[in-house]
Structure 1
Amino acid sequence: MDKLKAMATFIEIVDRGSLSAAAEAMDRSPASVVRALADLENHLGIRLLNRSTRRISLTDEGRDYLLRCRRILADINEAEFLLDARRTAPAGKLTVTAPMMFGRLHLIPLLNQYLAEHPGLQVDITLVDRVVNIIDEGFDIAIRIGHLADSSLISMPLGLTAPVICASPALIKQQGTPNTPNDLASWPIVRFNQHHHWAFKNSETLNTENMSLVMTTNQVDTAISSAITGLGVTRLFSYQVAQALEQGQLIRLLPEFEPTSLPVQFVYPHNRLLSYRVRAFLDWAGPQLKEVLKGR
């Protein structure tokens, strides 16, 4: 018995819903498909499918075996695909999405370099400050900041970033240096997006609606520039304000109260049978972004 061929036949039967449909799809006789399934069940010593004249259904053992068959055949196909693909350069269309400022600061420079080295590749990049459903919206890869809620996505960790409170030196001179989050209650606030609550370590929160809110914006650059001018204190991710902090335009406040850092990661729908252009870019860009975020 050709075990791999028998596994493929078993998967085809399940996917097609009947032995006759599987035989037609595989251009084989129904008798040969029935025989292949019977040989596989005899070899394993278990029944994989419950069969009647109208329908088939997986047994509990068949359900477990199906998952392993899919994984084994996917691994084989991926290995063969990658060996073949690496004989040529990455080509085709790569669709990527990322948060706006992260993309502008860190991802686009890498993409520009990668495209210069691989002229057969085309990139479609969307920068947007919302959680994108990459499966429904057709993206190959996304940069995601935060913990994954969707278990169907695979992640490649790149580093960490933390929400930080910062203000201009002039505003701090005017208001005084805060010692606890509650000291910010009388400060003017520049709020990015609709984040009504600023969470701190030990579950302490500030409701920005009850504070002196002077601006709400959906643009990170606007929040940063307004904070630099002294309009108000703001709360953004550390990578977003890294340059302003390094240049002394903003000062980080209450670092001992900052909440746990959040993961920055590449995410993609699955790690099996990735196209070579996707796998090649992940393998190339991942280590470089890890190095960038290490210093942020």
Structure 2
Amino acid sequence: MDKLQAMTVFVAVAEAQSFAGAARRLAMSPPAVTRAITALEERLQVKLLQRTTRLVRVTDAGQRYLEDAKRILADVDEADEAAAGINAEPAGHLAVTAPAQFGKLYVMPGIVDYLQRYPAMSVTAMFVDRVVNLLEEGMDVGIRIGELPDSSLRALRVGQVRPVVCAAPEYLKRHAAPNHPSELAGHALIAAGGLSAGPDWRFGSGADALSVRVQPRLVTTTIDAAIEAAVLGLGLTRLLSYQVALYLASGQLQTVLNRHEPPPVPIHVLHREGRYASAKVRSFVDLIAERLKREARWL
């Protein structure tokens, strides 16, 4: 097995944290993957992977080698694409991550469109409500909602969403709608993972910014559960505008405290490739960015 192929096998095992997972991804037999890693470690005279009965973890030396291997393989792919031409048809595998509900509502239609356009592509979609490290978790493209820390990732801003407080009309008939954030103490509050899960809800901006300590009557681990509780009339919840857009449009929920909304939250499409993106990444980023910029239901 040549060095590039051995690197490819190592990267697949490291990203999947599994020999069997890497074998499926590479269409190889598990014993062949094991032999490739053993031969690579023997050639380098260093332990790259720590094996347990349940998981495969990268060692410190393996992490350094992983970063170099990914860079080298990306450079090789770029060289191949440059030789084949900039308009080469995307082929291969793409890993995409996004927040759970945003991914379901707005990214998945783009993935389906992408796969229908490019039959030589396959995609893994990881929709989770946490910050995913694209490099460590083997993701090619990420859609992130929120301010971005400084990093080496390429970022394209495609829109923004608003934090909103809302409740069912039935609840607002029983309880006077708050006119100021300080009045939230007199209401039943519903908090979900992420935006509203902390003890403080922030409002306004600049000189008008304020923070209100809240005591929710209900805390849920999912956005859907918080929305359902609000629709059923339990109380007020604070979510992002895209998460409740359909419920606001149907009249099942109504916003309050609109004059005290904090600044909008940006949406970015991120990718981790270097000097220029591969055809598969470039084509997906272009497609999803165009779709998200057109989509206005969450604004």
User: In the alignment, is the contact (CA less than 8 A) between 1:100 and 1:127 conserved in 2?
Assistant: yes
Summarize the alignment of residues 1-296 of structure 1 with structure 2, pairs less than 5 Å apart: 81=81, 84-193=84-193, 194-201=197-204, 202-209=208-215, 213-293=216-296, 296=299
Amino acid at match of 1:220: I
CA contact (8 A) 1:157 1:266 kept: yes
Deviation at 1:247, TM superposition (A): 0.4
For the residue of structure 2 that corresponds to 1:272, the secondary structure is coil
Please identify runs of 4+ aligned residues in structure 1 that moved more than 4 A. 77-80
What SS does the aligned partner of 2:148 have? coil
Residue type of the partner of 1:166?
C
- Structure 2 gap segments, 5+ residues each: 1-73
TM-superposed CA distance for 1:273, in Å, is: 3.3
What's the CA shift string for 1:218-251, capped at 9, x where partnerless? Answer: 2111111110001121000001000000000000
Cα contact 2:171–2:235 (8 A) shared by 1: yes
Cα deviation code 1:87-141 (max 9, x no counterpart): 4321100000000000000000111121122111000010000111111111001
> Secondary structure at 1:221's aligned position in 2?
helix
**d(CA) in 1 for partners of 2:190, 2:247:** 16
For residues 182 and 188 of structure 2, what CA distance do their matches in structure 1 show?
13
Identity of aligned residues (%): 38
Q: Which blocks of at least 5 consecutive residues in structure 1 are unaligned?
A: 1-73
Contact 1:163 1:238 in 2 (8 A): yes
| 3-state SS of paired residue (2:152) | coil
Classify the secondary structure of the residue corresponding to 2:268. strand
Measured after TM superposition, the shift of residue 215 of structure 1 is: 1.3
- Calculate the TM-score normalised by the size of structure 1: 0.69
**What is the identity, as a one-letter code, of the residue corresponding to 1:206?**
V
- Alpha carbons 1:199, 1:206 under 8 Å: kept: yes
Q: Contact 1:82–1:276 (CA<8 Å) still a contact in 2?
A: no
Change (3 A) 1:207 1:83: farther
Q: Give the total of aligned pairs.
A: 219
Partner Cα separation in structure 1 for residue 298 and residue 178 of structure 2: 26
Structure 1 191/80 Cα, relative in aligned 2: closer, same or farther at 3 Å?
same
Q: Work out the CA distance in 2 between the residues paired with 1:295 and 1:197.
A: 24
Flag the 1:92–1:246 CA change in 2: closer, same or farther, 3 A. same
Larger Rg: 1
Q: Cα distance, 1:84 vs. partner? A: 2.7
Structure 2-normalised TM-score?
Answer: 0.69
| Structure 1 Cα separation of the partners of residues 83 and 241 of structure 2 | 40
